[in-house]
Structure 1
Amino acid sequence: MADFLVPSTASPETDAQHRQRGPIHAQRHVRVVCIGAGASGLLMAYKLQRHFSNYSLSVYEKNAEVSGTWFENRYPGCACDVPAHNYTWSFEPKLDWSAVYASSKEIFAYFNDFARKYGLHKYVKTRHQVGGATWNKQKGGYDVQIKDLESGQTIHDHCDILINASGILNNWAWPAIPGIDKYKGVLLHTANWDEKIDLRGRHVGLIGNGSSGIQVLPTIQPHVQKVTTFIREPTWISPVQGLEQHVFSAQERTDFATKPGVLTSYRKDVERGLNGQFGIFLKDTTTNANTEAYFRQQMAEKLSNPYLEQRLIPSWHVGCRRLTPGVGYLEALGKPNVDVVYGEISEITERGCRSDDGTEHPVDVLICATGFNTSFKPRFPVVNKRGTNLQDVWAHEARSYFGIAAADFPNYLIFLGPNCPIGNGPVLSAIEAQADYMCKLIDRFQTHNVATFAPKQDAVDDFVAFKDAFMRRTVWQDPCRSWYKGRADGPITALWPGSTLHYIEAMMEVRHDDWDVAYAGNRFAWMGNGYSQTELDPSADWAFYIRDRDDDEPLSRGRKLRIINKSGTVQQAKAVNFTGSDGSEAVPKL
């Protein structure tokens, strides 16, 4: 078998000639470089190891350990806003989560243990930061420049396929407030937390009421002398009904670990609940109206303060910004040692923050819970064969194909790129769909004499046009400030035009007509010497297609999906009823 493996660096003539010596679909060697060893990068390493042979892989990770954002984020109260048992790979449950919303340390342990269990660390080079990737016009593929952060040296690598798994929420940024460099107290950012700082007994300033700020406040409030929290705009804060915080008892954890089916049943119930939320994001749906009423009632009860209710409960729809459970946050705002300063910060002074009414608020420690650079531009130059840098192409608006690739950038794949379902529902399920799709592309590259593949420009243009039209029917289009879009009135660049289940179905098969493919030599060289792969395997049944009944898998998409989604096995609590003369407005019916 090894005699027929096709080298990846072969010229078009050599590639075609070499393939003629082997059987159909001979596997050439494929060199893959993956950037980032967070959740996505580790999953890609797992998938390649499980499904492929005759490949090599290097995963370059800037941090000292794997797990990405869950290694980096260590601020007080850091947790995931997705129920923990469903913030796992679909095939890799964790038995002993402490609570519905688990801490970042537990999540880090999950991904680190996943890497250890499957031996993925051998692919990872930690403390190695990618500085750029340039298409090699002579031999194809990318020349990748990496800085060894330990030695300071720059090393060079080359790959046939480059995968960017560096993520979207990892490039933290200080707030763009004048005078931040003048502050003489202790300055902290939630994404660059200094665990040596002791906040006990100190007056702490907290900027931001996004996910990080909402988690920090109730965690530090009982231990500090005072918190002055600066809030510039309202936001919806409440767990979705049925997904409230809960600490698992010892008996529950034992049942999950020892009773067959208990954990799987629980995980499925939660996942169905998460997947049933999509109607929240569609304007004028029963689900959105009911959720907004529930959130409004919950927020008013927990705030119990007309001044804060008026300023913190939004006028725009639920879901315009990312929803957060906000465990204990609203209650913390009413504690005696918490002051709420509502409005803009005009400047940061040597002593603290000056609000837009001119009042200076001195603090000992200033925490910036102000998030990340979410422009989707790669953090390093990615240069194609025309000499074009993707950073420049996406400078004003990031336009991808299904959140995984960019037109005119061949053999370059992206996890969680523009317009993927990062806020539509369960995100790890979407990452799995992306990894599977990438593997299908890599398989075709390996078993056919494909030189380059990239989405066609007109396919990207059509996808973006469809997405923009769809988004007008969603609450994401409301005039709120959100990292889902670059500006309040800008296009939605972060989210998929549909539910997570919708994305999973869209990604089940590669639409090859959307891809621009170039071949090395004759496009049919992959047919080889006339022999099949089956004839190379003496243990295979050379008459496998002869049988006594038709047991073929379904050929139609609809029949195939009914098997995959186990149609007929579950009675859902709600169905989707399509209303309107054109059937365009989906209203989940309770």
Structure 2
Amino acid sequence: MESGDRLNNPIHHRRHIRIICIGAGASGLLFAYKLQRSFEAFSLTIYEKNEGVAGTWFENRYPGVACDYPAHNYTYSFAPKPDWPSVYVSGPEIRGYFEDFKSKHGLERYCKVKHQVNRAEWIDGTGEWRVQIKDLVGDCVVEETCDILINAAGVLNQWRWPEIPGLHEFKGELMHSANWNEKTDLRGKRVGLIGNGSSGQQILESIQSSVAHLDHFIRQGTWIFGPFGPELPRAYTQTELREFAETPGLLLELRKKNESRINSAFKAFLSDTKEQAEMRAHIEYEMKAKLQSLELEDMIIPRTGVGCRRPTPGINYLEKLTAGNVSVLCGEITKVTPKGCISSSGKEHPLDVLICATGFDTSYIPRFQLIGQDGATLMKEWATQPRAYLAIAAAKFPNYLIFYGPNNPFASGPFLSTIECQADYMLKLIDRYQTENIRSFVPKAEAVADFMSHAVKILARTVWAEDCRSWYQRVQKPRGSSNEEKMPSLSAAESLTIWPGSGLHYIEAMAEVRADDWDITYRGNRFEWLGNGFSRTETDGESDLAWYVRERDDGPYMSREKRRRLQTRRSSPVESADGKMLKGDISTD
């Protein structure tokens, strides 16, 4: 927008903004919904490499794939689904939720499936991103430009093979959990399964009864959260489903109860706390009751604190480990041969099928080439340690925003509620970009450094910094590095890529944009956003020109604490400055 456009229009004149979003999973769809709900004068294109939306839930199709999070809380906070059939639901059912959300809000208009972003470069002269996209159907490359680039590809989007000598010399069928061959018939086969994370547990639970024998290779134990005590129902009754749909407040009460339990867990993840000790004792007791084997207890129950690795519900996983056709082998696989795997004992285990449930590249480096200011590449900038600003942005990469970047609260908060607060933060930045003459915004390097320094101090107090192998920790070699290259020496806390606090802590931290942490440049005079001297209210024929004249002070509180109390109170009224009790909701926007 030229200076003349602003000088001939009222304050906060909106310019047209062009946005490209990478990925149509949970984050990309949410961003599109929130953008169209609040904004006008924009163009948005979401490039998705798959032929459908839902991201990881579109890609992962292994037997037993499911969400290990209570389904009623694996929804957007404002979009419940009363008819979830059970407490935990399958991958296809989760995929259906996101597909329905896309259709309900007309988000398909923004999506270009089977298009993969290969490269994005910041052009400083024009203050825009130049993005190269491969059309996977037409097998051609197209180029687009945009003002703002959103990376909503997520962290669990690039699966990786384990680094085991001879892996690809195996002559049987080799599969990864995230690249499952749905035509494979495992009945009566000798199967090797590497990994005991969520995917490995779900696969084992699903295939154990049909295979001839299953060798389960694990490197360390894992905490299983349950369900313990009164078993959570596997399926809701028709009466429950009807009540969720028809009884006002019932489903909301359940969702809030679940969310409150999740949001009160952070203290238990601090080392040497009473809460951690009590949780450990309880879960260890329940796991032993299910395993009923000293040998299995020694292999499966971790020595590290509960939460060092991501805990899972593991429904029926522990029981399946005791089956007669399952062998649990703890330790490194020293080599894969054409016929099977050689375990740390030196014994070769013959296999027909080898399944690698070994997770994803969690380096946070995008799979496309990203070039920022002065030729900086994110691959180099984050090669040794990913360093983001509040999990959403990177120094040297202007107008580039990330969903669930490094130091996100994956370990301590609800996933979809977290991405909602990230989307809101992004849109606050975009609102300023659209209504002021901002050219670029990028987090200051010193702000990122200060944040990282603070995070290390807090994370050092948590069980996440203990000595376990976890994708919370940055322990992998930089992508593209040789085997000879080694990671620099980092302390346990420095290697962590999760938020230094609870999920609620993150949500409160993201409530407001700290402009002093950002380098902001302008197109011309920074005050041209003031326009021609007229307010937008004066030029809107439907506006009340005296909207601020009222009979009582019902405006938002000016202190952060009073706004927070009003927003988060249960039901008790809040006292106003003049001593009156305020019972109605007051906007805190």
Q: Classify the TM-score, shorter chain.
A: over 0.9
Report deviation, 1:245: 4.0
Partners of 1:480 and 1:243 in 2: how far apart?
A: 30
Q: 1:215 deviation in Å?
A: 1.1
Shift of 1:382: 1.1
Query: Which position in structure 2 is the counterpart of 1:453?
Result: 441
Shift in Å at residue 312 of structure 1? 1.5
User: Given the alignment of the two structures, is residue 382 of structure 1 paired with residue 370 of structure 2, yes or no?
Assistant: yes
The corresponding residue for 1:266 is 254
1:187 aligns to 2:190 (yes or no): no
- 2:315 paired with 1:327: yes
> Cα distance, 1:239 vs. partner?
2.5
CA distance in 1, matches of 2:102, 2:226: 31
Distance in 1, matches of 2:112 and 2:474, equals: 33
The residue identity in structure 2 corresponding to 1:52 is F
1:278 to 252, 266, 275: 266
| Mapped pair 1:231 → 2:234 | no
2:468 corresponds to: 480
Equivalent in the alignment of 1:523: 526
CA deviations over 1:265-310 (Å, ceiling 9, x no partner): 1111111111111122111222211110111011111111101111
393, 400, 417: which is aligned to 1:429?
A: 417
Deviation at 1:17, TM superposition (A): 2.1
Give the conservation status (yes or no) of the 8 Å contact 2:386–2:497. Answer: no
Q: 1:373 and 2:376 equivalent?
A: no
**Aligned residue identity for 2:183:** K
Deviations 1:60-119 (A, max 9, x none): 000000000000111111111211100000000011112211111110000110001000
- Equivalent residue letter for 2:510: M
User: What is the letter of the counterpart of residue 33 of structure 1?
Assistant: I
Q: Does 1:543 align with 2:546?
A: yes
RMSD of Structure 2 on Structure 1 (CA)? 1.4
Q: Which residue of 2 aligns with 1:149?
A: 136
Name the residue aligned to 1:40. 27
State the partner residue of 1:444: 432
Superposed displacement of residue 337, structure 1? 1.0
Q: Give 5+ residue unaligned stretches, structure 2.
A: 476-489, 574-589
* Contact in 1 for aligned 2:270/2:461 (Cα 8 Å): yes
**What is the alpha-carbon distance in structure 2 between the residues aligned to residue 445 and residue 89 of structure 1?**
26
Tell me how far apart the structure 2 counterparts of residues 474 and 431 of structure 1 sit (CA, whole Å): 23
- Alpha-carbon distance between aligned partners in 2 of 1:240 and 1:515, rounded to the nearest angstrom: 45
Q: In structure 1, the residue corresponding to 2:373 is in which secondary structure? A: coil
- 2:564 is aligned, of 551, 561, 565, to 561
Name the aligned partner's letter for residue 484 of structure 1. Y
Q: Which amino acid aligns with 1:109?
A: G
- Once the two structures are TM-superposed, the CA of residue 492 in structure 1 deviates from its matched residue by 4.0
**Aligned match for 2:283, one of 292, 295, 307:** 295
Q: Is the 8 A contact 1:471 1:492 kept in 2?
A: no
TM-score (norm 2): 0.93
Amino acid at match of 2:40: S
**Structure 1 counterpart of 2:171, which letter?**
K
Alignment of 1:251 onto 2:231: no
Cα distance in 2 for residues equivalent to 1:28 and 1:136: 20
Contact 2:465 2:496 (C-alpha < 8 Å) held by counterparts: no
Match for residue 532 of structure 1? 535
Partner Cα distance (2:207, 2:416) in 1: 30
Letter in 1 for 2:540: D
Q: Which amino acid aligns with 1:166?
A: A
Q: Is the 8 A contact 2:122 2:129 kept in 1?
A: yes
Conserved in 2, the CA contact under 8 Å of 1:23 and 1:529? Answer: yes
Q: How does 1:399-418 map to 2 (within 5 A)?
A: 399-418=387-406
Q: CA deviation at 1:213?
A: 0.5
1:118 aligns with 2:99: no
Tell me the amino acid that sits aligned with residue 151 of structure 1. G
What SS is found at the alignment partner of 1:553? coil
Contact residue 189 and residue 211 of structure 2 kept, 8 A: yes
The answer on whether the counterparts of 2:399 and 2:441 sit within 8 Å (CA) in structure 1 is: yes
1:104 aligns with 2:107: no
Partner of 1:361: 349
- Match of 2:292? 304
Give the distance between the partners of 1:460 and 1:415, measured in 2 at CA: 16
Matching residue of 1:63: 50
Q: 2:451 maps to which residue?
A: 463
Shift of 1:566: 2.2
1:394 pairs with 2:394? no
Q: Which amino acid aligns with 2:522?
A: Y
178-187 or 62-71: bigger deviation: 178-187
- 1:342 counterpart residue number: 330
How much does 1:494 deviate?
A: 2.5
Could you tell me how far 1:243 is from its partner in structure 2?
A: 9.5
Q: Which stretch of structure 1 is more off in the superposition, 498-507 or 484-493?
A: 484-493
Aligned position for 2:576: none
Aligned length: 557
Q: Give the partner amino acid of 2:329.
A: V
Say which SS state the counterpart of residue 318 (structure 1) adopts.
coil
Q: Look up the match of 1:584.
A: none
Residue 352 of structure 1: aligned partner: 340
Tell me the amino acid that sits aligned with residue 22 of structure 2: I
Structure 2 residue identity aligned to 1:178: P
Q: C-alpha separation between the residues in 1 aligned to 2:87 and 2:545? A: 51
Superposed displacement of residue 242, structure 1? 7.6
Gaps of 5+ in 1: 1-9, 571-590
Amino acid at match of 1:20: L
- Please report how far the alpha carbon of residue 482 of structure 1 lies from its aligned counterpart in structure 2 after TM superposition: 0.6
**CA 300–156 in structure 1, closer or farther in 2 if over 3 Å, else same:** same
Residue 432 of structure 1 and its aligned partner are, at CA, apart by 0.3
Q: 1:434 to 1:324 in 2, by over 3 A?
A: same
1:210 matched to 2:197? The reply is: yes
Q: Is the partner of 1:23 in helix, strand or coil? A: coil
Q: In 2, distance between residues paired with 1:240 and 1:463?
A: 37
Residues 1:149 and 1:102: Cα distance change in structure 2 (over 3 Å): same
State the secondary structure of the residue aligned to 2:216.
strand
Query: Which residue of structure 2 lines up, in the alignment, with residue 502 of structure 1?
Result: 505
Kept after mapping to 2: 8 A contact 1:437/1:507: yes
Q: CA deviation at 1:139?
A: 1.3
CA separation of 1:272 and 1:482: change in aligned 2, threshold 3 A: same
Moved more, 160-169 or 240-249: 240-249
SS in 1 for 2:131: strand
- More displaced stretch, 157-166 vs 200-209: 200-209
Partner of 1:577: none
Aligned in 2, Cα 1:241/1:29: closer, same or farther, shift over 3 Å? Answer: farther
Secondary structure, counterpart of 2:46 in structure 1: strand
The share of aligned pairs that are identical, in percent, is 53
| Matched position secondary structure for 1:134 | strand
Q: How far apart, in 2, do the equivalents of 1:191 and 1:280 lie?
A: 31
Structure 1 position 50 matched with structure 2 position 37: yes
User: In the alignment, which residue of structure 2 is the partner of 1:74?
Assistant: 61
Other-structure match for 1:4: none
CA contact (8 A) 2:10 2:531 kept: yes
- The alignment partner of 2:150 has SS state of strand
Of stretches 279-288 and 477-486 in structure 1, the one that deviates more from structure 2 is 279-288
